[in-house]
Amino acid sequence: MSDGKHVRERVREVLALLSSLQLQRAYQARVPAVNVAEELFNQWDDWYRPDNPQFGALFSVDEIRALGEFSKIIDAIAEETPQMLPPLEEFMQTEAWRRLCAEAQKALGVLAIQGPSD
C-alpha cells in the first residue's frame, strides 16, 4: 500500500465498475474470454484490504464505514450466488446483480461526498 492515492483510486474504480451496467459491458467487450460476473467479486477482494493499517488511513471514518457495509453486502451476495457465476449478460438479469449495483452506487456516493484523502 505504498501508493495510497493509487489504492484509493482503484477502490473508487472498482466501485464504479460494480455500480455500472455500461462499464461492465465495456469491460466484457475488452476481455471476452473473462467471466466478468466473477471478476466483479474478485476485483473487490483484490483492493478492499481493511486489515491493512495503511488502508484505513486512506479513507475517512464515514468512508471506512461505507466500505465495510458494502463489503458485508457483497460477501452476502457471493454466498447467495453459485460459485461459478453465469456470463455477465445472464447475471445482469438477477436480483443479486441489481442489489450489487445499487449497493456499490451507495458506497461510491459516500466516497464522492468525502472527496480524496490527502
Question: What is the mean predicted confidence (pLDDT) over 87-116?
Answer: 91
Confidence of residue 115 (pLDDT cuts 50, 70, 90): low
Cα 64 → chain centroid: 14
Question: How does residue 103 score in pLDDT terms, banded at 50, 70 and 90?
Answer: very high
Helix, strand, coil abundance in the chain, percent, nearest 5 = 75, 0, 25
For 18-72, how does the pLDDT look when each residue is reduced to its tens digit (9 = 90+)? 999 999 999 999 999 999 999 999 999 999 999 988 898 999 999 999 999 999 9
CA 106 to CA 94: how far, in whole Å?
Answer: 19
Place of cell 483492493: 47
**Given pLDDT bands bounded at 50, 70 and 90, which one contains residue 118?**
very low
Decide if pLDDT at 1 tops 50. Answer: no
Identify whether the C-beta of residue 4 lies closer than 8 Å to the C-beta of residue 57: yes
First to last CA, the chain: 15
Give exposure, 19-29, as e/b (b: 16+ Cβ within 10 Å).
bbeeebeebbe
Mean of the pLDDT values across residues 99-117?
A: 85
Report the chain's mean pLDDT, rounded to a whole number: 92
C-alpha cell at 85: 457465476
Under the banding of pLDDT at 50, 70 and 90, the label for residue 3 is confident
